[in-house]
Amino acid sequence: MIVPLADRLHTVDEYYFAAKLRQIKEMESAGQRIINLGIGSPDLQPSQETIDRLVASAADGRHYSYQPYRGIPELRAAMAGYVRQHFKCELNPSTEILPLPGSKQGMLYVTLAFVDPGDAVLVPDPGYPTYGGVARMTGARVLPYPLDPANGWAPEWSVLNRMDLRGVKLIWANYPHMPTGAPAREPLFNDLVGFAREHHILLCHDNPYPQLGDSDDLLSILACPGARDLAIELHSMSKSHNLSGWRIGWAAGDQAYIDAIGRVASNVESGMSLSLQHAATVALQSDHTWYDHLRAEYRSRRTLGESILNNLGCTVSSSQAGMFVWGKIADSTGDAEQLADMVLERAHVFLVPGTVFGQRGAGYLRLSLCSPVPVLTEAVALIKKSTASPSWRTS
């Protein structure tokens, strides 16, 4: 290589799944069938009305030009209406919403907008690796803060309050939580808002999974008293509307925050496809039966996912939300990474060890529910067969 890598790449490891998927591809090339329960990529379709709107808009030859950086008014209005209907939170669609090409980009934009090199960012442990990844790429210091399994995976406040918070500009939170499935709760949100206010830290709440839990538990951090002047919330349509490949999400918050994120976005993108915006507008206006069907499907899948982990000797909480199942391995099992590798090698089922999500993930496995019931049923059978063999018990 003639040109050396940028220093920032030396602080960022390859995404775990990229390396693991190469291994799976090699196994499949050797003739082995692998059931991939690792990545959370929805396999379900969006509503038929959403698809029809996309097709009709794409067929219109007038819809191929560059679009406004902040999205069309109809989409922003639909986003505000969705938040009002499902989260009981009022937002001004003209000033407090910014459509994004997925919330993952939003994580980068927020960090670029508010964090300078040398500043610090608080990220949950366990938590989504991208929070720390984008912070490192922007030259920030990453400070993991522990979550407490004994308290529903809320922040371990006694530890967090003893940390050296000098230079901290931003704290990431995520409920319903990935990977643990801990649901959102009002007291927890109020505590997060209070912490951010006390320490003058921007609170960014990543909220992609609320539709995949109990319909009574849909919460927005922005609905909490006093949150508007210190919090940003990211939403995604990837999981809630099965639009992961379309890359549609948004940031919500006070106009000053949205304007800052918009300044970053306008320098790195050229507006979202108009046809995708039209389709997303329709998807956001889905009636309650759409979400009821989605939740029912994931409940059926969750039962099978819990069975898979139970057959591996894991303990699984029954209160989890989202599109994953998180289980604590038995103390006698040993190492979660070794167990995941053994399951892949012998049962041909790919599960993710919890250490991918931080040190506090040690001793846990995560399973994705983005496979249909017949595939999950097959995985249950493969796990049962493998764990029943004498070679498994003597490993």
pLDDT per residue rounded down to tens, the chain (395 residues): 678 878 777 665 656 677 788 889 999 999 999 999 998 889 999 999 999 999 999 999 888 888 888 999 999 999 999 999 999 999 999 999 999 998 999 999 999 999 999 999 999 999 999 999 999 999 999 999 999 999 999 999 999 999 999 999 999 999 999 999 999 999 999 999 999 999 999 999 999 999 998 877 799 999 999 999 999 999 999 999 999 999 999 999 999 999 999 999 999 888 899 999 999 999 999 999 999 999 999 999 999 999 999 999 999 998 999 999 999 999 766 789 999 999 999 999 999 999 999 999 999 999 999 999 999 999 999 999 998 887 775 55
- CATH number, domain at 231? 3.40.640.10
Whole-angstrom distance, CA of residue 160 vs CA of residue 353:
25
Same domain (yes/no): 24, 85: no
Angle at 50 (CA atoms; ends 49, 51), nearest 5 degrees: 90
Same domain, 126 and 208: yes
User: For residue 179, what are its two tokens?
Assistant: 């990977």
Please state the domain count of the chain. 2
CA distance 204 to 218: 17
Is the Cβ–Cβ distance between 115 and 164 less than 8 Å?
no
Structural domain includes residue 252: yes
Asked whether residue 107 falls in the same domain as residue 217, the answer is yes
Residue 1 lies in a domain: no
Tell me if 200 is assigned to some domain.
yes
- Find the CATH number of the domain harbouring 27: 3.90.1150.10
End residue of a domain, out of 286, 306, 325: 286
Of 286, 305, 322, which residue sits at a domain end?
286
Question: Does residue 293 share a domain with residue 282?
Answer: no
Quote the radius of gyration of the chain (alpha carbons, Å).
Answer: 21
Query: Which residues constitute the domain of residue 309?
Result: 7-45+289-389
Q: Which of 278, 286, 248 is nearest to 81 (CA)?
A: 286
Q: Which amino acid is at 163?
A: M
Q: Say if residue 280 is in the same domain as residue 349.
A: no
Q: Sheet harboring 202-206: ordered strands across?
A: 97-100, 249-253, 231-236, 202-206, 168-173, 120-125, 141-148, 154-155
Examine the domain organization and report whether 137 and 13 are in the same domain: no
144 and 156 part of one domain: yes
CA distance to 145, 182, 230, 379, per residue, from 359 (Å): 10, 18, 28, 28
Neighbours of 103 (CB within 10 A): 24
Do 316 and 279 fall into the same domain?
A: no
Domain assignment present for 258: yes
- Contact predicate 183/319, CB 8 Å: yes
3-state secondary structure at position 263: helix
In this structure, are 199 and 281 located in the same domain? yes
Q: Is 356 exposed, middle or buried (0-12, 13-18, 19+ CB in 10 A)?
A: buried
Residue 96 inside a domain? The answer is: yes
Listed in sequence order, the residues at least 6 apart from 385 whose beta carbon sits closer than 8 Å to its beta carbon are 347
The DSSP-derived string for 175-243 is SS-TTT-PPP-HHHHHHHHHHHHHHT-EEEEE-S-GGGS-GGG---GGGSTT-TTTEEEEEEHHHHSS-
As a whole number of angstroms, the distance between CA 338 and CA 334 comes to: 8
Question: What was the pLDDT predicted at 138?
Answer: 92
Residues 128 and 243 grouped into a single domain = yes
